[in-house]
Structure 1
Amino acid sequence: MSSAFENLSARLRAAWKTHKQATTPRAFRCQCGRPVFFRNSQCLACDTPLGYEPLRARVLPLEPVGEHLWREYGAGPNAPAYRRCQNFDAAAACNWLIPADEKDAQGQLKPLCMACRLNHTIPDLSVEENALYWNRVEQAKRRLVSQLIGLGLPVVPKSEDPERGLAFDFLRAPEGGPPVMTGHADGLITINVEEADDAKREKLRAQLREPYRTLLGHFRHEVGHYYWDRLVRDTDWIKPVRELFGDDQIDYAAALKKNYDEGPPADWKDRFVSTYASCHPWEDWAETWAHYLHMVDTVDTALSFGIDADDVEIEAEPWTREALWRPEDRDAEAFLGFLNAWTELTAVLNEMARSMGQPDFYPFVLPRPAVAKLQLIHAIVRGAGAPVPAPAAPVAAPTAAEVPEPSERKPEEPEPLEPVV
């Protein structure tokens, strides 16, 4: 009898096969045949230069074709040429590629890649440690942005679309100044770069009794608020979202204050993916959105590396159509397969983490209402290319999506810095 892990691998492949074009591979090979990874800019085996092509979702081995120009190794003279992102030599160490002839609206060659063009403010690099923090923040951001592109979600810089675009402020509080609060407002996501300090982040995680707190988790949560504005607000999706997540028009500030004064409801584990999700429908959406991105990227990674292990036995009660938002949906069976494979995969990965004395890889238990919400988010992502507009009163997005401490706030008008090149 084949092992449960082999069955799991088969189910992962079958469940996600129809969506493979919309997700992001994570395993690559150099021209020498050795494995290379998403963040690599050079093969450690043969020293071949590498670069990430976001629209092809591939790390490419490169060969020079002129001054500052590259093409895929061995692809021939007619292969497209690329330039490296200007932040390649900066502390950000960006390994992304830009089509050689890609120009801005003024006809100038774009110096920055699709990910770096989203930056509005970067940390003051004259301050000690900020270069390291920025490097770590950018690694997490590039992982996020590559996934958003792979899922077919709109990723447009605010500099190119002021009303609907996305931008990032990476800030650090000055000595003695007001603390920086991670949050989202009108397409601008603020990240406190001190979250890149492992010790400080772990201290906050313990203080707030959070089972999980990572830079990538912050990015995925905050971008959930952005996509609420892009994909849900003012569209026909607002009705089913309110049915499942609750009325987002209730007072946000009052809901947050109640959460900090009284704590989460006693039954939060039966209804939400996390305690923070119970604060307000906006936070429930953002937390569930982040979990969806966690799940998809983890499954993508498992598929990319062809999970294949023997003698692993996992038994889990499978989710059925009764738990779904729309059991009759044409994609319901595939979504269930993905969800059940995810449940078994994380059980194995949690045990592997414990074997190394580490915290659980996925320290959450999905309650039944969260499964329905995840299916709704899946449907919205799947249809992101053509959201259906509907008349609706504008609902302002939260000005802060995660509040590490009630006293923390974002500086009202951060001074933009020149991008590092």
Structure 2
Amino acid sequence: MKLFQCTNCKNTVVFENNKCVNCGYLLGYSSYYNKIVALDTNASKWQVLELDGKTYEYCENYKHKVCNWLVDVSRGRKFCLACSLNRTIPHILDDANLAKWKHIEIAKHRLVYQLLRFSLPVVSKIGDDLKGFCFDFLAREDLPEESKDTKTGHANGVITLLISEADPVVREQVKQQMAERYRTLLGHFRHEVGHYFWDLLIRDNPDILEEFRIIFGDESKSYADALTNHYNNGPQANWQQNFISKYASSHPWEDWAETWSHYLHLTDVLETAYNFGLRSNPKITAKQNIKMNASFDPYKETSFEKKMDTGIPLLFTLNSMNRSMGEDDPYPFIISKPVERKLEFIHDLLRKV
């Protein structure tokens, strides 16, 4: 994630801040200009010089304290680009639901930020049913009896998330039950939106689909049977040699979505390191080079090899720092050569967007 500054006092602020703790100005984010700007606390609409002098107001969801994005008043829209993707939100008169929704929106807004940085189309299914995507955030207890078995997932551009996933206790329980090493809201969003972009970028493109099948396998084999086999019999033997996760070994579609999410993980970490000017020069001589200099914007970098040569030592450093604090590895995965080839396929595909 990019580092931001208050345009009034130059204090460092983070992506979710809606007020500068140093000067007291309100803060708003422009997704078009990728900039956070300071706003007069005594107004509700602002002519913002840093945003070409246009007049802005907060997204409608600002009143619920779940969004700090700005909307151009001249466009006549109440919701920002990220919030316009919401088709269903939980009953927010329930304080517990509102708290969960806030956590969900933090992750979702970060996802949309990243999609825009990749120059991917972000279109609401509410306005374009054929090409868009949207989110349903559901509480299981509010579902009719016939839908009680609804799970987090994607279908035809609709990304469903059970809001219980925003409860860290519940999420940790599921993580243990599923024998997963990593489970986050942002990870869910990156994975599920990967299914949507497979439909959009690969499904109807014969040349790309052929290359996909060479690298990931034939997705036309029964998805339902593959998942049944996975849950009944476990992952493929020696899955670590060819897949980024156990679940990725279940079916080529899941392999794609898991690998896609990891490419997004890697790119986000690299952008953060780039903005902090991170570099490392370990005090040992190692067989594998673990020096690192995050001196480039990963969204503009064309060399996949450079991203990997920087990303692998960076992730190793990140894991080592966490262990120093007695925490688990934030990236508990091994990137094998076959997985690296899959990541390169995604890298090359995104360069063509």
Do both share a fold (TM > 0.5)? Answer: yes
Pairing 1:394-405 to 2, within 5 Å after superposition: none
User: Does residue 1:79 correspond to 2:48, yes or no?
Assistant: no
Distance in 2 (alpha carbons) for counterparts of 1:196 and 1:313: 41
2:319 is aligned with 1:343 = no
**1:191-340 alignment, distance < 5 Å:** 191-235=161-205, 236-308=207-279, 315=286, 317=288, 334-340=303-309
1:129 Cα deviation from its structure 2 partner: 0.9
Instruction: Give matches, 1:112-127, under 5 Å.
Output: 112-127=79-94
1:40 and 1:313 map into 2 onto residues whose CA distance is: 40
In structure 2, relative to structure 1, the CA distance for the partners of 1:300 and 1:252 (3 Å cut) is same
2:297 equivalent in structure 1: none
Query: 1:368 aligned to 2:340?
Result: no
Q: Normalising by structure 2, what TM-score?
A: 0.91
Alignment of 1:43-192 (within 5 A): 43-63=20-40, 68-72=44-48, 75=50, 79-91=53-65, 93-102=66-75, 109-174=76-141, 177=145, 178-192=148-162
For the residue of structure 2 that corresponds to 1:50, the secondary structure is strand
Provide, for residues 26-67 of structure 1, a one-character-per-residue CA deviation record: whole Å limited to 9, x for no partner. Answer: 201112121001010110111111111112212222247x96
Q: Could you list the per-position Cα deviations for residues 283-315 of structure 1 after superposition, in whole angstroms to 9, with x for gaps in the alignment?
A: 000000000000011111111122256766584
**TM-score normalised by L of structure 1:** 0.76
The amino acid across from 2:152 in the alignment is: T
For the residues of structure 2 that align with 1:79 and 1:308, how far apart are their CA atoms?
A: 38
SS in 1 for 2:130: coil
**Partners of 2:20 and 2:38 in 1: how far apart?**
8
Question: What residue ranges of structure 1 are gaps of 5+ in the alignment?
Answer: 1-24, 103-108, 320-330, 385-421
Matches within 5 A, 1:377-416: 377-384=346-353
1:369-417 CA distance string (max 9 Å, x none)? 1101101101111112xxxxxxxxxxxxxxxxxxxxxxxxxxxxxxxxx
> Distance in 1 between the 2:104 and 2:73 partners?
26
- Contact 2:302–2:351 (CA under 8 A) maintained in structure 1: no
Cα offsets for 1:109-153 (capped at 9, x unmatched):
100000000000001224451001111000000000010011100
| Cα distance change on mapping 1:50 and 1:315 into 2, 3 Å | farther
Q: 1:156 to 1:128 in 2, by over 3 A?
A: same
Q: Is the 8 A contact 1:314 1:344 kept in 2?
A: no
One-letter amino acid of the structure 2 residue matched with residue 224 of structure 1: G
Cα 1:153/1:134, change in 2 over 3 Å: same
SS in 2 for 1:273: coil
Residue pair 1:118, 1:168 contacting (<8 A) in 2 also: yes
Task: Assess, with a 3 A threshold, how the Cα gap between structure 1 residues 60 and 310 changes in structure 2: closer, same or farther.
Answer: farther
Name the SS of the counterpart of 1:129 in structure 2: helix
Alignment CA distance shift 1:341-1:62 (3 Å)? same
Question: Could you tell me which amino acid in structure 1 is paired with residue 259 of structure 2?
Answer: T
Taking a change above 3 Å as real, the CA distance of residues 314 and 43 of structure 1, as seen in their structure-2 partners, is: farther
Partner of 1:412: none
Q: How many residues align?
A: 339
- CA change 1:314–1:84 in 2 (3 A) is farther
Contact in 1 for aligned 2:191/2:257 (Cα 8 Å): yes
Give the match's secondary structure for 1:131.
helix
Contact 2:236 2:250 in 1 (8 A): no
Task: Output the aligned Cα RMSD.
Answer: 2.2
Runs of 4+ more than 6 Å apart: none
1:51-104: CA deviation from partner (whole Å, max 9, x where unpaired): 11112212222247x9632244x649x62221110100115x2000111211xx
User: Which residue does the alignment assign to 1:322?
Assistant: none
215-224 or 229-238, which deviates more:
229-238
- Matched residue type, 1:275: K
Given the superposition, is the C-alpha separation of residues 316 and 148 from structure 1 closer, same or farther in structure 2, using an over 3 Å criterion?
Answer: farther
Cα distance change, pair 255–132 in 1 and its aligned pair in 2 (3 A): same
- CA shift, 1:333, in A, is 7.7
